[in-house]
Amino acid sequence: MDKQKYDLEDRLVDYTCRMIDVVEALPNTRAGNYIAGQSMRCCHSPTFNYGEVQAAESRSDFIHKLGICLKELKECRTALKIIIKKGLIQPTDKLKGIFQETEELIAIIAKSVETAKKNRDAQNLNIEN
């Protein structure tokens, strides 16, 4: 089985590009335009903020910036849930892949935050002892 290695930054860039396609497919209605605007902002944020994560000035800064990525991905997930529930893009099955990718990115970033916090706490314990 061929295992493909993913660079998280590249994966986030691909995610943002796919979300742009979702936004462009939304109807030109008040609701569609509102969700489109909000989704456009939140789908770019994790990608752009991940660039800042890579240049974090401290472990705490790293955790904080990753947390922003996580919050924005969760906002994307909520927007997708609304789009699906309201049937704003038909057939809604077309959104299964991007919804799954959102869930996977949330899991990756959440685990990264958890690991970074554990490492920070372990380092703080070592300093105190």
- Could you read off the pLDDT tens digit of each residue along the chain, which spans 129 residues? 445 556 999 999 999 999 999 999 999 999 999 999 999 999 999 999 999 999 999 999 999 999 999 999 999 999 999 999 999 999 999 999 999 999 999 999 999 999 999 998 887 777 665
Q: Domains in the chain and their CATH numbers? A: 8-128 (1.20.1440.60)
Beta strand spans in 4-115 (E):
none
Q: What is the DSSP letter of 2?
A: P
Chain centre distance of CA 116? 17
Cis peptide before 46 (omega within 30 of 0): no
Q: Which pLDDT score is estimated for 1?
A: 43
Query: What would the two tokens of residue 82 be?
Result: 């609304």
Query: What is the pLDDT, as a whole number, of residue 123?
Result: 78
- pLDDT at position 2, please? 47
